[in-house]
Amino acid sequence: MTSPPTLWKSGFSCPNCGVEAHQSWFNCYAANRAPSRSDIHKQQPSPASDAAFGMAPSVTLGTPSPNIHSQGNIPVQNISISKCYSCSEAAIWIGTRLIWPKFTPDIKPHIHMPAAIKADFVEACSILQLSPRGAAALVRVALEKLINHLVGEAVKPNDGIQTLVDRGMPERVQKMCDAVRIITNDSVHLGTINSNDDLASATKLFHLVNAIVDQTIGLDILADEIYGELPHDKIQFVEDRKRGAARKSAASVNTEK
């Protein structure tokens, strides 16, 4: 599991190159001077760079990413810069929010996630950087659909989780379901996941949903695949054993009556 970009953290998944790497941090200072003709020339955009990167016309030295060039003497408050040890590219932060480059976490939905749930999962991931709180709300929708899928009918999330527990769902899966349910509910109604600064907390929700799918749908599919590859006579023996056990159980119940 990679670490999402986080203000002042010494290492995370670089938003430029994607490598989990050490990050150096810099404060931002401005130089109080009039622009020279060469500065104006440097800042002229090219059609190619505009088309490729959709940037405003202030691309240093014609490159599509910011450069750490020199230091002025006027502190610029609330702006920070991180620099990746792996690719040496810079990222710009305002407050606690990463504003450059655009970062979409590489979180893939579980291979066995149902299509309707996957659509909400992917959409939530696409807005995670811009709005962790909005992403959490979509994860909530995905969880509700997943619970309905597992139960087999539309139910309230809390009731659905208990139904699955009554059917034998392991406690670890119940804990994951309730964790996502409570966190996403509180993030929407109480604002516990802030829309500006809690990317790491929101990211964990995606991994929890993937884990729930893996421990329910994924393991069922794996078990069926392996069981289905057994010789027919061996499967028949197991089925006979199960029927025999069911008859004994029924007989025991009748005797008690």
Give the mean pLDDT of 213-224: 95
Measured distance CA(112)–CA(217) in Å, rounded:
7
Tell me if 256 is assigned to some domain. no
- Residue where a domain stops, chosen among 100, 132, 152: 100
Q: In what order do the strands lie in the sheet with 11-13?
A: 11-13, 20-30, 74-84, 90-94, 97-100
- pLDDT attached to residue 225: 93
Measured distance CA(190)–CA(193) in Å, rounded:
8
Label residue 101 by pLDDT band (50, 70, 90).
confident
80 & 121 share domain: no
221 & 162 share domain: yes
Tell me if 205 is assigned to some domain. yes
- pLDDT attached to residue 66: 65
193 & 135 share domain: yes
Tell me if 250 is assigned to some domain. no
95 & 135 share domain: no
Tell me if 26 is assigned to some domain. yes
- pLDDT attached to residue 206: 95
**In this structure, what token pair is assigned to residue 43?**
């800042």
**In this structure, what token pair is assigned to residue 5?**
């970009």
Measured distance CA(107)–CA(132) in Å, rounded:
14
pTM over 0.75: no
97-100 and 11-13 strand pairing: unpaired
In terms of pLDDT, which residue wins out, 86 or 251? 86
82 & 143 share domain: no
77 & 17 share domain: yes
Label residue 254 by pLDDT band (50, 70, 90).
low
Tell me if 3 is assigned to some domain. no
208 & 120 share domain: yes
121 & 221 share domain: yes
Tell me if 4 is assigned to some domain. no
In terms of pLDDT, which residue wins out, 214 or 242? 214
Tell me if 165 is assigned to some domain. yes
- Could you check whether the bond before residue 35 is cis, i.e. omega within 30 degrees of 0? no
75 & 132 share domain: no
Q: What does DSSP assign to residue 215?
A: I
Residue 130 has pLDDT above 60, yes or no: yes
Q: Which domain holds residue 210?
A: 115-228
Label residue 38 by pLDDT band (50, 70, 90).
low
95 & 139 share domain: no
83 & 23 share domain: yes
Identify the H or E element spanning 155: none
Domain count, the chain: 2
> What's the pLDDT tens digit per position in 43-62?
554 554 444 433 333 334 34
Q: Give residue 132's Cα distance to chain centre.
A: 10
- pLDDT attached to residue 70: 61
Q: Which residue's entry shows tokens 């025999």?
A: 244
Tell me if 240 is assigned to some domain. no
57 & 136 share domain: no
